[in-house]
Structure 1
Amino acid sequence: MSTKPRPPRPPRPLTLTERRKAATQLDIARAAAELFTERGPDDTTAEDIAQRAGVALRTFYRYFRSKQDAVAPLLAGGADRWRAELAATEPGTDLSAALERSIAGSLAAEGEEAAEGLRWTRGLLRAAQDDPALRAVWYRVNHESEEQLREVLAALAAPDAPADAGALELRLLAAAATAAIRIALETWAVTDAPVRGEGAPAELALRCLRELTGGVRIPPAASAGGR
């Protein structure tokens, strides 16, 4: 008898110390992104980033291993919000529709904060073209997101769907969804297309998702009584 994995538990509220730590990490990440965009990674040092962020160099290295690693929170932030939105999908919702809706919503750039996040990503991806270490951070962020997405999809699948989060269908779906966003952002980053509308990340990601999942069997979603 197969057992259905339990839905991921809601994250516990962050403590004051954890919130301060996250805020410091984001300040450092933004400072690194600014400098990489202005000067390029080669002409930016960890000392430069720490100074721009207003922290000591030892604080920088308490949170990050390298100057390139410092931008990981910015690159991962959108994926974190996207997975959280997907995890909150109502039972019985078609998984294919839920994926499209969550991807479109996360890349829609409806508010200025979301639009700013996409512009940061564009600058970082342009800088990564000539910096293998920065590209490695981008690929690592995507790989980690794919692994976490598999768990979310497994929790949303129906009880009679493959129960293992590593099942072939779920692996393919998680890989396709992650690749769709990655390819869309990389394609958009080298253009001057806007953050919204034709040629924007949301439109490109949906096109990529539909192409990549064309031959993937989407597992059925759990019903309201099956969660």
Structure 2
Amino acid sequence: MESRAPSLTERRKAVTQLEIARAAARLFADRGADAVTAEEIARQAGVAVRTFYRYFRTKEDAVAPLLTVGAGHWRALLAAADPREELLDALERTITEVLTPKSDADLESLRWTLGLLRAATADPALQFVWFRVNGESEAQLREIVATLAGPEAEPYAVRLIAAAATDALRVALEACAADESFSDPGAPAALASRALRELTAGVELYPVDA
């Protein structure tokens, strides 16, 4: 079934949520989540506090759209891959594309994300949002991997590859966030590609004839 295009209202809602998420990420990265209030985030984003709470239950929840937008773009790229391309090649290619900044805005977004992950190391609520976003992304990625792999693929291997690909991105971003002197925009893509190759080494996607 062909997916329905989002309405104008839905697009506006998504834009507002992302603006709030960016404001929250900037404040959290600069000062830590404990020192930031929902009122400050709303003011920074240029929205009313009631608008903030219409979209998010807590201040930590506000960062989820920023963390999911990259994963959503990645899944869209992968879903559009040529079925003739090897699955792991498509995964590595799209991971590299989505993690490689192509503009100053992309680089700024990457820095916000890394700053947010640094803040999350000392904030269980932020960590929960990060792990929840990754869990949701893995579940959605599994369906795309299964489609690209075809009906003959082992369901276990499909789950394993989706988990490995999700963790490759997660670990790469966390490793770069842990580097306070981070300066190489190509590092997340390089680390994620390496992690994907290492995590999927030896995985048999299709049944091996006895």
TM-score under structure 2 length normalisation: 0.93
What are the Cα deviations for residues 36-82 of structure 1, in whole angstroms up to 9, with x where unaligned? 12221001011111111121111111100100000000011111000
Identity %: 60
Match of 2:123 in 1: 131
Q: Give the AA of the match of 2:176.
A: W
Determine the structure 2 residue equivalent to 1:213: 200
Name stretches of at least 5 consecutive residues in structure 2 with no aligned partner: none
Q: Which residue of 2 aligns with 1:172?
A: 160
CA distance in structure 1 between the aligned counterparts of 2:189 and 2:206, rounded to whole angstroms:
24
Which whole-Å deviations, capped at 9, do the CAs of 1:125-164 have from their partners, x for residues lacking one? Answer: 01001100000000000000000000001111123224xx
Shift in Å at residue 32 of structure 1? Answer: 0.7
Determine which of 92, 100, 113 is the counterpart of 1:121.
113
Q: Which amino acid letter does the alignment assign opposite residue 81 of structure 1? A: H
Question: Matched residue pairs, number?
Answer: 206
| Aligned-residue RMSD, C-alpha | 1.5
Query: In the alignment, which of 177, 194, 198 is matched to residue 183 of structure 2?
Result: 194
Measure, in 2, the Cα distance between the counterparts of 1:38 and 1:212: 33
Structure 2 partner of 1:152: 144
Distance across 1 between alignment mates of 2:183 and 2:128: 26
Contact 2:153 2:205 in 1 (8 A): no
Q: How does 1:101-116 map to 2 (within 5 A)?
A: 101-116=93-108
Contact 2:118 2:178 in 1 (8 A): yes
Residue 120 of structure 1, CA deviation: 1.0
Paired residue secondary structure (2:12): helix
Counterpart position of 2:191: 204
Q: Does 1:40 align with 2:32?
A: yes
Cα 1:218–1:114 change in 2 (3 A) is farther
Q: CA deviation at 1:12?
A: 2.7
Runs of 4+ in 1 over 3 A off after TM superposition: none
Matched residue of 1:130: which SS? coil
Shift of 1:10: 5.4
